[in-house]
Amino acid sequence: MMMSYPSKRVPLHLYHANQCDPKKCTGKKLARFGLAYLHSKPGKLPKGAIFLDPFSKLALSPLDNNKNGIVVLDCSWKEVERTFPVLKKLKFKHRALPYLVAANPVNYGKPFKLGTVEAFAAALYILGSIEQAREILNKFKWGHTFLELNHEPLEAYAAAKNSKEIVSIQTEFMPTALLR
């Protein structure tokens, strides 16, 4: 008889704000492939999960416990400051991703302007789930480019000891203009 073992996959959850072009929405595509859970109500998101929040004071680090999964708010970057407060009240571990560059066709080369799949992949990589990061990026023809563009910083972040060290490491990769 074959034994069934629990999956070591990190559960990926997204709250979709219906603000982006459905044809370009990486979050909805992940949900269609069964790689992420799509939630239409914020209250249904798992409590205690890591919420990737660009306004958080703490950076995501390998120390963060991902057993309850990772949550991303899928919204337009044009609406991010108006939309994020919706999830501020929920019981999450708010963490910001460190400096990375987008590879998606809409924001290619722009720092911090990651799409949903890029945010999930970066978090997975930093948390040590590199194969799962590759798997979700493989659903996009440009997905491998994200890992290529960000290979050095992702490796450094994944080896960091804590959030403070992540913040310190990111300055090595940021252009001087962003450090001012």
CA-wise closest residue to 109 among 145, 68, 156 = 145
Tell me the average pLDDT across 55-62: 93
* More confidently predicted of 166 and 88: 166
CA-wise closest residue to 37 among 55, 63, 57, 10 = 10
The string of pLDDT tens digits covering residues 127-144 is 999 999 999 999 999 999
The DSSP bridge partners found for residue 111 are 101
**Cβ proximity of 167 and 93 under 8 Å:** no
Q: Say what the pLDDT of residue 3 is.
A: 31
Say yes or no to pLDDT of 102 above 90. yes
Q: Is 135 exposed, middle or buried (0-12, 13-18, 19+ CB in 10 A)?
A: middle
